[in-house]
């Protein structure tokens, strides 16, 4: 329970806590770390093999395929009038079942100041879906802005390697402030201000119904992320991720970390969108031998692909290794 509370506050912007006393680290972890200290030859051999290892992209490719397929289904359902997945990511209907984005539903209810039956039904459906699949998996497996931002991030990193740009980081708590701000604006103005600015909704509607002037706002956001702050919208602004992160605290599907096979080379940190959830992979930070990553994890699988020893893996809570 203590770790669950700490993970929740880390999602809101608090820095991960380091174990301050050996008693806060389990005896099993201390035993594992002692074995690693004594087996330096094995570590050297691993690092040598790692230097010649080809990167894997299995989970990234699966995720991209699902994300593209979902958004194409929206498009073809509208274009061909086949009524399978109607609407957009903000609000839709799948073969008759209402589906409402949790954050959008919150904004609408606060703006209208009363409950709408279809809204409640659609919200419950989506809530149950993402409880099963993992809260923030919406961000990396469905959101079209995530994919576009992931691709433009490569431009940012290429420019950074040439020292043409520098990544400017902001406090992660800014996202919590924006979440409160958008909630307050919806309640006070009676208008869903966030939905007007959300690149998620803008891109989803543009793909389905055709482009509009709102795409200029998305383009400006991407330029900001390329030249000033890497993945700024997802990391520091978007309240959708925070809303689904709350759901992620009770999701059975997770990426779990296992201390024993980990060599702490840090490859997972380099690829992670929310690297604070991987703080436990730093040597001496893990309090127990096996644990799930925090609720802010997007379940994108990039760290699983990057890990050469299987220390990070998809699992279902209470069950054995899934994949």
Three-class SS of residue 83? coil
Residue among 84, 118, 125, 75 nearest 102 (CA)? 125
pLDDT bracket for residue 115 (50, 70, 90): confident
At 218 the pLDDT is 97
Residues 64, 147: contact at Cβ < 8 Å? yes
Span 13-29, mean pLDDT? 77
CA distance 176 to 165: 27
Number of H helices, E strands in the chain: 16, 6
Instruction: Answer whether 0.75 is exceeded by the pTM.
Output: yes
Over residues 68-79, the pLDDT tens digits come to: 999 999 999 999
pLDDT of residue 23: 62
Question: 3-state SS of the chain: helix, strand, coil percent to 5?
Answer: 60, 10, 35
pLDDT per position as a tens digit, 153-208: 999 999 999 999 999 999 999 999 999 999 999 999 999 999 999 999 999 999 99
Q: For residue 83, is it left (φ>0), alpha (ψ between -120 and 50) or beta?
A: left
User: What are 234-289's pLDDT values in tens digits?
Assistant: 999 999 999 998 888 888 899 999 998 888 888 899 899 889 999 999 988 888 88
Residues paired with 258 in a beta bridge: 290
Helix (H) or strand (E) holding 78: helix 58-79
* Segment among 33-42, 111-120, 216-225, 252-261 with least mean pLDDT: 33-42
Handedness of CA 128, 67, 104, 78 (dihedral sign): negative
> Which band of pLDDT confidence, cut at 50, 70 and 90, is reported for residue 21?
low
From residue 163, alpha-carbon distances to 156, 158, 160, 166, 220 in Å are 10, 9, 5, 7, 22
pLDDT of residue 22: 64
Burial environment of residue 95 by CB neighbours within 10 A (0 to 12, 13 to 18, 19 or more): exposed
**Distance (Å, rounded) from C-alpha 30 to C-alpha 230?**
36
What count of other Cβ atoms lies within 10 Å of the Cβ of residue 130?
21
- Across the strands, what pairs with 321? 315
Instruction: Check residue 25 and give its pLDDT.
Output: 81
CA nearest neighbour of 272 among 321, 240, 230? 230
């Amino acid at each position: 329970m203590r770790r669950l509370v700490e993970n929740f506050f880390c999602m809101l912007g608090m820095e991960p806590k380091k174990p301050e006393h050996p008693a806060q680290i389990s005896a099993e972890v201390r035993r594992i770390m002692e074995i690693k200290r004594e087996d330096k030859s094995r570590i050297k051999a691993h690092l040598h093999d790692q230097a010649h290892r080809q990167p894997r992209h299995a989970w990234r490719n699966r995720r991209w395929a699902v994300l593209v397929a979902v958004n194409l289904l929206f498009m073809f359902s509208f274009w061909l009038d086949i009524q399978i997945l109607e609407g957009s990511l903000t609000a839709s209907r799948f073969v008759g079942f209402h589906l409402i984005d949790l954050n959008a539903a919150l904004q609408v209810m606060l703006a209208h100041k009363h409950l709408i039956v279809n809204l409640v039904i659609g919200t419950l459906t989506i809530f149950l879906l993402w409880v099963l699949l993992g809260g923030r998996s919406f961000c990396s497996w469905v959101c079209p802005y995530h994919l576009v931002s992931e691709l433009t991030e490569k431009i940012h990193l290429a420019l950074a390697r040439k020292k043409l740009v520098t990544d400017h980081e902001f406090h992660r708590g800014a996202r919590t402030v924006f979440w409160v701000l958008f909630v307050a604006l919806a309640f006070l103005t009676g208008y869903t201000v966030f939905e007007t600015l959300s690149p998620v909704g803008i891109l989803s509607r543009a793909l389905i119904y055709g482009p509009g002037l709102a795409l200029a706002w998305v383009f400006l956001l991407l330029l900001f992320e390329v030249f000033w702050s890497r993945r700024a919208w997802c990391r520091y602004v978007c309240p959708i991720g925070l809303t689904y992160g709350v759901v992620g605290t009770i999701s059975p599907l997770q990426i779990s970390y296992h201390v024993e096979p980990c060599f702490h080379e840090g490859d997972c940190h380099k690829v992670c969108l929310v690297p604070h959830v991987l703080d436990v992979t730093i040597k001496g930070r893990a309090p127990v031998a096996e644990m799930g990553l925090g609720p802010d994890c997007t379940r994108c699988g990039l760290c699983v692909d990057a890990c050469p020893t299987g220390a990070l893996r998809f699992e279902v809570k209470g069950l054995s290794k899934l994949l």
